[in-house]
Amino acid sequence: MIDKELLSILACPACKADVRQEGDRIVCSKCGRRYPIKDDIPVMLIDEAEMPGEERKGR
């Protein structure tokens, strides 16, 4: 679980919109990109994000 204070300052690197946590992903409220959380650290890299409707990478 990501700390609420950290989550409140994060923004999507692609469109700069607010994000929220959904399970093991950080999800952009505007473009819908899904960023993975690895070892309790959000990986906020555009290249690591999944677009809405994409299956998870590595499956």
Is there a domain that residue 34 lies in?
Answer: yes
Distance (Å, whole) CA 2 – CA 41: 8
The pTM (predicted TM-score) of the whole model is: 0.85
pLDDT, average across residues 1-6: 89
The range of the structural domain enclosing residue 25 comes to 4-48
- Length of the chain equals 59
Is there a domain that residue 54 lies in?
Answer: no
Tokens of 22: 């959904």
* Structure-model confidence comparison of residues 31 and 56, the more confident one: 31
- Tell me, what CATH number does 14's domain have? 2.20.25
Instruction: Categorize the per-residue pLDDT at 56 as very low, low, confident or very high, splitting at 50, 70 and 90.
Output: low
Q: What is the pLDDT of residues 19-32, one digit of tens each?
A: 999 999 999 999 99
Q: Decide the pairing of beta strands 34-38 and 41-42.
A: antiparallel
